[in-house]
Amino acid sequence: MAGGPWLKNLCIIATAISWGLANALAVGLFFMDQLAALASLVNFGALTAFLLLHVSVINYFIIKQKSTRYVQHLTLPLIGFIIIGYVWYSLDALSKELGFIWLGVGVIYFIFLKLSKKITDYKRIELFCRFAHKCELRTEKNINRNV
């Protein structure tokens, strides 16, 4: 990598700080009166994403990879899913209402993009991801050889 790991870390930190400042400014200027609603929406999205993450772990390792490490790849994700599911279920009605409205807007936007042919073919995306993964593996092998 050009510049080394210190440059990568510096870029990550600078990006996180600048986005944090921009988000804080946007919240301060535009959403100060609805701060609770904004926090509710963020909670809904984050918890939903973590629920889907646990489902994805089970799907990838148990179903696709046929893993026999049931404690790591089935039991622990199920426990996490149950705990996060309980917290998600305990969200207030406003959180769920805003979250499902936002999800609906996203689905409608996705359908619009799909119908207007602005989303590329999934096969091309899958091929790109496979190619990128192979390049990453080659790079790791070269790094390990030089160490």
Tell me if 61 is assigned to some domain: yes
Q: Are residues 25 and 43 in the same domain?
A: no
The pLDDT assigned to 140 comes to: 47
Q: Are residues 11 and 39 in the same domain?
A: no
Q: Are residues 3 and 42 in the same domain?
A: no
Q: Are residues 38 and 69 in the same domain?
A: yes
Contact 54, 75 (CB under 8 A): no
Tell me if 111 is assigned to some domain: no
Tell me if 118 is assigned to some domain: no
Q: How confident is the model at residue 114 (pLDDT cuts 50, 70, 90)?
A: confident
Name the domain count of the chain. Answer: 2
Q: Are residues 26 and 38 in the same domain?
A: no
Tell me if 115 is assigned to some domain: no
Q: How confident is the model at residue 28 (pLDDT cuts 50, 70, 90)?
A: low
Q: Are residues 51 and 84 in the same domain?
A: yes
The pLDDT of 25-40, averaged and rounded, is 68
d(CA 29, CA 133): 41
Tens digits of residue pLDDT in 44-99 = 889 999 999 999 999 999 999 999 999 999 999 999 999 999 999 999 888 898 88
Q: Are residues 26 and 41 in the same domain?
A: no
Q: What is the DSSP string of the chain?
A: -TT-HHHHHHHHHHHHHHHHHHHHHHHHHHSGGGHHHHHHHHHHHHHHHHHHHHHHHHIIIIIIS----HIIIIIHHHHHHHHHHHHHHTS-HHHHHHHHHHHHHHHHHHHHHHHTT-SPPHHHHHHHHHHHHHHHHHHHHHHHHH-
Percent pLDDT > 70 in the chain is 69
The pLDDT assigned to 139 comes to: 47
Report the predicted TM-score, pTM, of the whole model to 2 decimal places.
0.57
